[in-house]
Amino acid sequence: MPVHIALLRAVNVGGTGKLSMSDLKSLCEKAGFVDVKTYIQSGNVLFRSELSAEDAGKVLDDALGKMMGKAPGVMVRSRKQLEKIAGNNPFPDAKPNYLMVNFLPEKAPEDALDKLVAPDGEEVHIAGHEIYVHYPNGSGRSKLKLPALKQATSRNLNTVHKLAELAAEMEDAGS
pLDDT tens profile 90-103: 999 999 999 999 99
User: Which of 137 and 41 is assigned the larger pLDDT?
Assistant: 137
What is the enclosing helix (H) or strand (E) of 55?
helix 53-68
Mean pLDDT of all residues in 126-145: 95
pLDDT class of 15 with cuts at 50, 70, 90: low
Phi/psi-derived region of residue 144, left when phi > 0, alpha when psi is between -120 and 50, beta in every other case: beta
- What is the predicted pLDDT for the residue at 42? 78
Mean pLDDT of all residues in 59-72: 91
Mean pLDDT of all residues in 43-71: 94
- What is the predicted pLDDT for the residue at 10? 76
pTM of the model: 0.93
pLDDT at 139 over 70: yes
